[in-house]
Amino acid sequence: MIIRQIFNNNVIRAEDQVGHEFVVIGNGLGFKKKMGQRVDEDKIEKTFMLKPDNVPQKLIDLIGETSADYFSLADEIVGFAKMEMGDVFNENIYITLIDHIHFAIARYRNSMNIKNALFWQIKKFYPKEFAVGQKALILIKKYFDLEMDQDEASFIAMHFVNARQDSQGMQKTVEVTKAMSDIMNLISDYYQLKLDENSFSYSRFITHLQYFLQRMLNGEQEKSASGDNFLYDQIKDKFPVAFQCMNQINNYLENEYESAMTIDEKVYLTIHIQRVTSRGGSGL
């Protein structure tokens, strides 16, 4: 590999023989080196492949502000997440993760701990991502000898939620999580029932709700609407209690987000409510 840019003594940008570019990390890789020289491959510790366009400015800024340990830490966390969740994450996960952890460590060292207002919602609705956050705390302890509380695990989990949802933006991730919590509380209150969070019906409902809210907040739900009035009328007659509960949720969405459900979504949501609130099975 050939050196194309030197960020600091330990981090460089390099290009291989077929033109692929990498951020390369290793102790002393950039020390007393010049662009165009060959990379001392015996010193390479980690490589991160880049897209064929320019290196993001945010990545350059982070390289200048952080040590190589942050890149190695992020790589371990993302590797664990891929193994546990089996997902392909948006490439920005490395940038957002390093940026967050760098700032969080600075906060902790200055005794500025922050509580996550959505802690319980994230732990409940995104258990796999939360488990990744908990693993991240163990790795942060290993790399930086710093104990962080569980709120930080939930903050890190949110980055993985966001990375799985087409980079919709952290604000949208927060909005989706809050709306999910409000809707599940509304159902529990309407039925005066504690939902079984370990049931398959609950898990399916949460998945449906996540994608529905993502589409709704992005203004995309109309694209796939068929408007099947016959099925709508059948569901309304067969499950009147679940149907009324769905209408309350629709009112909530109109009031909070100025967005109403399509006929299709009303049908799907009513069916899911019927299933998740049925003690004896699916109710269908």
Q: Are 215 and 272 contained in the same domain?
A: yes
In a domain, 60, yes or no: no
In a domain, 57, yes or no: no
Burial class (CB in 10 A: 0-12, 13-18, 19+), 158: buried
Return averaged pLDDT per consecutive 10 residues of the chain, 284 residues in all. Answer: 85 86 83 92 79 59 74 87 81 83 90 85 90 97 95 93 69 87 95 88 86 80 58 91 96 91 89 83 43
Q: Considering 164, 198, 219, which residue would you say is the last residue of a domain?
A: 164
In a domain, 56, yes or no: no
- Tokens matching residue 190: 């309407």
In a domain, 251, yes or no: yes
pLDDT (0 to 100) of residue 229: 82
Asked if residues 269 and 216 have their Cβ atoms less than 8 Å apart, the reply is no
Q: Are 155 and 238 contained in the same domain?
A: no
Q: Which of 54, 45, 142 is nearest to 101 (CA)?
A: 142
Q: Are 28 and 104 contained in the same domain?
A: no
Q: Are 150 and 193 contained in the same domain?
A: no
**Count, residues in the chain:** 284
Helix, strand or coil for residue 35?
Answer: coil
Q: Which of 221, 213, 214 is nearest to 263 (CA)?
A: 221
In a domain, 283, yes or no: no
DSSP annotation of 2: E
Q: Are 42 and 104 contained in the same domain?
A: no
Q: Are 41 and 79 contained in the same domain?
A: no
* Cα gap 222→262, rounded to integer Å: 7
Q: Are 27 and 113 contained in the same domain?
A: no
In a domain, 97, yes or no: yes
pLDDT (0 to 100) of residue 224: 46
* Residue 37 CA: distances (Å) to CA of 3, 104, 178: 6, 36, 52
Q: Considering 148, 164, 180, which residue would you say is the last residue of a domain?
A: 164
Chain-centroid distance, C-alpha 85 = 11
Q: What is the CATH classification number for the domain harbouring 30?
A: 2.30.24.10
Stated as kind and residue range, the H or E segment containing 23 is strand 21-25
Q: Are 205 and 189 contained in the same domain?
A: yes
pLDDT (0 to 100) of residue 62: 72
Which residues, 6+ apart, have CB-to-CB distance to 154 below 8 Å? 116, 118, 119, 122, 123, 130, 133
- Tokens matching residue 177: 């999580």
Sign of the Cα pseudo-torsion (144, 149, 151, 157, in order): positive
Amino acid at 153: A
Query: Looking at the 3D structure of the chain, how many domains does it have?
Result: 3
Q: Which of 9, 140, 103 is nearest to 64 (CA)?
A: 9
Which residues, 6+ apart, have CB-to-CB distance to 6 below 8 Å? 12, 13, 30, 33, 34, 35
DSSP annotation of 24: E
Sheet of 21-25: strand order equals 2-6, 11-15, 21-25, 46-50
pLDDT (0 to 100) of residue 165: 59
Q: Are 185 and 135 contained in the same domain?
A: no
DSSP annotation of 166: T
In a domain, 58, yes or no: no
Q: Are 122 and 76 contained in the same domain?
A: yes
In a domain, 284, yes or no: no
User: The pTM is what?
Assistant: 0.66
pLDDT (0 to 100) of residue 284: 46
**Which domain does 7 fall in, by range?**
2-51
Q: Are 179 and 133 contained in the same domain?
A: no
Q: Are 113 and 155 contained in the same domain?
A: yes
Q: What is the CATH classification number for the domain harbouring 232?
A: 1.10.1790.10
